[in-house]
């Protein structure tokens, strides 16, 4: 028996609904939409308040990405904001990196899995206290010189090429495509740099080409008329967000924000709500009061404004990627610390059991009703104790081993680091001059950033040059060189350190190395030889056969025959006797019994001077306890391993006299005070 007519009629009535449901299912996430209307953010048809925070994937070891995002979520955040540093992803022209620290797609997918939205700051300039504001330093080698952050055609073509790689990778992760990205930022605080609207329009055009018209693009500028006038592009329907000092009354600034957005499209948003501040070497560590920070956030959130905490979690400037700032001129140079803790609620090492985290969490819950998740457990840290280190070699012992012969260059005048292909770290410049009977005056009018000067007689012991002094970008550029009474010319050695490129302001075109002529007693030195110092394989230094590199005079002090074990110990004693003022490599070892004993730790460099440290060949950053305030460098547990762990220290001056370091549980920001 067939179905009754009434049942058939019911089927006919239900069929359109079923087809509609099937169509919706087939379209997947087609209904997903994020937009601004009636001065309110909307997500999927409902009003939405952004409670966000910056958590930068490139400042966290990838093994800890999930941990830090979960801590941000437990703070009450529903959105993560992050920059994308061009220099990490294209370290050399057309050489693309998207693995490990640079696997941005995995980071964005992880945020999505944790039900967090993303505001993506794709630059091309990011600032962020990051080397060169995120620009690849090879941009500084292009001739004719390009104008960064402008409509310069060569610069725009390179931006187009970079975004042509990046933006197609993130397009599938846009909110309308089922991903977490609700907004994409164009440039960063351009209004405090320039007023080239054609440049901003071009960036919008490129972004729309790859990302479509549905994604909300936004700019961020300081909440003042001049900044907003120069940095916003409302005619392109780009949302203008503001940032401002947490001591400011936010609502008059949000009212000003309306003038730089289209009517009805000015949801109040502080896209950088400062939970702390940056610190330069030589300063006291920047801190802000937890209670006043929470009150400032409450003034925004409890009136339905939106805010993004800068930073929610700061992280670490591993390697050579810290940025720097300048004052009234480019010589007034201040490099940022290795730590980017920022006094953020989630500390550099992940701690959330602190007053600021708890105060901000309370306010977020009170103002938004976002449920309080259980506080994440404390991350265990270990004190592995005292570690003895041994001098492996002076820099001058091994310069030919750690300087690629194919990259050593000769030139009439000193070349910049960038032209030498030495984008980070150190470059050794050498030349000769004829000595006078009395002392001489060395002048380097322009050095970026810090030079150590050594001399030796050209036909003497060139492996042990005599230390003369330092020439710094921010201080006097002359140095008195004592007479060596050489029978030949004097060899001059200048080791220059790139301490981090300027990331903000008018002096961002910040080349490194010796950028001027070098004069001895007013006479220009010529015929320079330049050795790029490679620190990529410092873990192999102890394997070098240093005995064979000694001069005859040195070798006569030890025997390389007989009992090899005893003789090697003799050599080690010889290398360590006497602590001189010279750049040198030191090595130490500590043992971890098992995988479960691997824990976060800090290496304390109290008693040391200045340099760079490596753990298991990973560059954990710069130390400078002689000036402070940072005394200890953070070592995340994933860098460690069961068994033997190797620490290599490149000390630029003289080590701790006891030749020891300490692996401790807690950070220390009290050096140099």
Residue range 92-112, pLDDT digits in tens: 999 999 999 999 999 999 999
pLDDT of amino acid 31: 84
> 432 catalytic, yes or no?
no
Contact 302, 371 (CB under 8 A): no
HSE (side-chain half, CA atoms, 13 Å) at 121? 28
pLDDT tens readout for residues 513-549: 999 999 999 999 999 999 999 998 777 776 653 433 3
Lowest-pLDDT range of 54-63, 353-362, 397-406? 397-406
Of the candidates 187, 272, 330, 582, the residue annotated as catalytic is 272
> Fold match between 380-392+537-546+579-672 and 404-533?
yes
In the block, tokens 């896209």 appear at 271
pLDDT-derived band at 458 (thresholds 50, 70, 90) equals: confident
pLDDT of amino acid 462: 60
Distance (Å, rounded) from C-alpha 315 to C-alpha 17?
Answer: 51
Closest CA to 514 of 583, 466, 457, 443: 443
Does the structure show a pLDDT above 50 at 356?
yes
pTM for this predicted structure:
0.90
Domain boundaries, the chain: 34-368, 380-392+537-546+579-672, 404-533
Distance (Å, rounded) from C-alpha 637 to C-alpha 639?
Answer: 5
Distance (Å, rounded) from C-alpha 630 to C-alpha 347?
Answer: 15
pLDDT of amino acid 461: 60
What single string gives the DSSP state of each residue in 50-103? Answer: -EEEEE-GGGS-GGGHHHHHHHHHHHT--EEEEE--HHHH-SBTTB---SGGG-
Q: Percent of the chain having pLDDT more than 90? A: 83
Distance (Å, rounded) from C-alpha 59 to C-alpha 56?
Answer: 6
Length of the chain: 673
pLDDT-derived band at 622 (thresholds 50, 70, 90) equals: very high
Does the structure show a pLDDT above 90 at 25?
no
Distance (Å, rounded) from C-alpha 311 to C-alpha 346?
Answer: 9
Q: Percent of the chain having pLDDT more than 70? A: 89
The CATH code belonging to domain 380-392+537-546+579-672 is 2.60.120.260
Residues 6+ apart with CB under 8 A from 41: 34, 35, 47, 48, 49, 50, 267, 269, 306
pLDDT-derived band at 24 (thresholds 50, 70, 90) equals: very low
pLDDT of amino acid 673: 67
Residues 6+ apart with CB under 8 A from 434: 489, 490
Please tell me which residue, 458 or 18, carries the higher pLDDT value. 458
Question: What is the residue-averaged pLDDT of the chain?
Answer: 90
Of the candidates 90, 129, 187, 189, the residue annotated as catalytic is 189
How big is the CA angle at 293 (ends 289 and 295), to the nearest 5 degrees?
120
List C-alpha distances in Å: 262 to 38, 207, 225, 229, 244: 11, 20, 16, 14, 21
Per the DSSP assignment, residues forming a β-bridge with 443 are 478, 519
> 29 catalytic, yes or no?
no
Rounded average pLDDT over 561-578 = 32
Distance (Å, rounded) from C-alpha 127 to C-alpha 133?
Answer: 4
Closest CA to 443 of 435, 456, 434, 453: 453
Class of the CATH domain delimited by 34-368:
alpha beta
Distance (Å, rounded) from C-alpha 384 to C-alpha 603?
Answer: 9
Assign domain 404-533 to its CATH architecture: Sandwich (2.60)
Lowest-pLDDT range of 64-78, 146-160, 236-250, 396-410? 396-410
Does the structure show a pLDDT above 60 at 455?
yes
pLDDT of amino acid 580: 67
pLDDT tens readout for residues 165-219: 999 999 999 999 999 999 999 999 999 999 999 999 999 999 999 999 999 999 9
Contact 173, 181 (CB under 8 A): yes
In the block, tokens 């002689």 appear at 626
Measured between alpha carbons, how far apart are the two ends of the chain, in Å? Answer: 95
Do β-strands 643-651 and 611-615 pair in parallel, antiparallel, or remain unpaired? Answer: antiparallel
pLDDT-derived band at 495 (thresholds 50, 70, 90) equals: very high
Does the structure show a pLDDT above 70 at 572?
no
pLDDT tens readout for residues 637-673: 999 999 999 999 999 999 999 999 999 999 999 998 6
Does the structure show a pLDDT above 80 at 120?
yes
Contact 633, 594 (CB under 8 A): no
421: its two tokens: 């292909």
Lowest-pLDDT range of 222-236, 435-449, 492-506, 560-574? 560-574
């Amino acid at each position: 028996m067939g179905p009754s007519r009434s049942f058939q009629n019911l089927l006919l009535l239900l069929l359109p609904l079923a087809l509609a449901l099937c169509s919706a299912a087939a379209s997947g996430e087609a209904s997903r939409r994020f937009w601004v209307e009636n001065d309110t953010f909307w997500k999927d048809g409902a009003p939405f308040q952004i409670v966000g925070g910056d958590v930068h994937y490139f400042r966290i070891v990838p093994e800890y990405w999930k941990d830090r995002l979960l801590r941000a979520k437990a703070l009450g955040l529903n959105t993560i904001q992050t920059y994308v540093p061009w220099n990490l992803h294209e370290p050399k022209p057309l050489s693309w990196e998207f693995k490990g620290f640079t696997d941005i797609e995995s980071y964005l997918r992880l945020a999505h899995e944790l039900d967090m939205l993303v505001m993506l700051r794709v630059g091309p300039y990011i600032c962020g206290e990051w080397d060169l504001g995120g620009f690849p330093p090879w941009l500084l080698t292009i001739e004719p010189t390009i104008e960064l952050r402008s409509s310069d055609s060569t610069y725009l073509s390179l931006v187009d090429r970079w975004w042509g790689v990046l933006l197609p990778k993130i397009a599938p992760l846009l909110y309308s495509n089922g991903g977490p990205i609700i907004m994409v930022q164009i440039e960063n605080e351009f209004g405090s740099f320039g007023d080239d609207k054609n440049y901003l329009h071009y960036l919008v055009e490129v972004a729309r080409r790859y990302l479509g018209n549905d994604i909300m693009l936004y700019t961020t500028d300081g909440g003042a008329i001049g900044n907003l006038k120069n940095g916003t592009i409302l005619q392109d329907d780009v949302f203008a967000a503001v940032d401002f000092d947490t001591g400011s009354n936010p609502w008059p600034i949000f009212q000003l924000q309306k003038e730089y957005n289209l009517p009805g499209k000015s949801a109040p948003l502080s896209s950088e709500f400062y939970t702390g501040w940056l610190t330069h070497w030589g300063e006291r560590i920047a801190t802000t009061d937890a209670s006043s920070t929470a009150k400032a956030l409450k003034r925004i959130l409890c009136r339905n404004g939106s805010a993004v905490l800068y930073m929610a979690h700061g992280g670490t400037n591993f390697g050579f990627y810290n940025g720097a700032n300048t004052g009234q001129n480019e010589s007034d140079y201040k490099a940022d610390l290795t730590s980017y803790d920022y006094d953020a609620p989630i500390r550099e090492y992940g701690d959330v059991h602190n007053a600021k985290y708890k105060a901000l969490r309370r306010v977020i819950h009170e103002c938004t009703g976002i449920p309080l998740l259980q506080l994440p457990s404390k991350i265990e840290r270990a004190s592995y104790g005292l570690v003895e280190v041994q001098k492996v070699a002076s820099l001058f012992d091994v310069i030919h081993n750690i300087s690629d012969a194919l990259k050593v260059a000769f030139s009439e005048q000193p070349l910049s680091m960038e032209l030498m292909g030495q984008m980070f770290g150190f470059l050794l410049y050498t030349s000769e001059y004829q000595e006078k009977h009395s002392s001489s005056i060395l002048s380097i009018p322009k050095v970026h950033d810090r030079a150590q000067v050594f001399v030796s007689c050209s036909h003497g012991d060139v492996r042990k040059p005599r230390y003369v002094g330092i020439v710094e970008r921010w201080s006097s550029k002359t140095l008195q060189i004592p007479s060596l009474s050489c029978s030949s010319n004097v060899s001059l050695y200048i080791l220059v350190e790139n301490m981090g490129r300027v990331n903000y302001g008018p002096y961002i075109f910040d080349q490194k190395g010796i950028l001027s002529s070098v004069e001895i007693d007013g006479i220009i030195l010529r015929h320079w030889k330049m050795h790029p110092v490679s620190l990529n394989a410092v873990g192999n230094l102890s394997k070098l056969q240093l005995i064979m590199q000694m001069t005859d005079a040195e070798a006569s002090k030890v025997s390389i025959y007989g009992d090899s074990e005893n003789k090697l110990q003799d050599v080690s004693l010889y290398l360590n006797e006497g602590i001189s003022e010279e750049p040198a490599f030191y090595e130490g070892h500590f043992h971890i019994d098992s995988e479960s004993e691997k824990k976060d730790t800090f290496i304390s460099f109290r008693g040391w001077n200045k340099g760079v440290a490596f753990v298991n060949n990973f560059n954990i950053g710069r130390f400078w306890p002689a000036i402070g305030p940072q005394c200890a460098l953070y070592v995340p547990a994933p860098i460690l391993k069961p068994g033997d762990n190797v620490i290599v220290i490149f000390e630029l001056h003289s080590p701790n006299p006891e030749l020891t370091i300490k692996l401790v549980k807690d950070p220390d920001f009290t050096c140099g005070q």
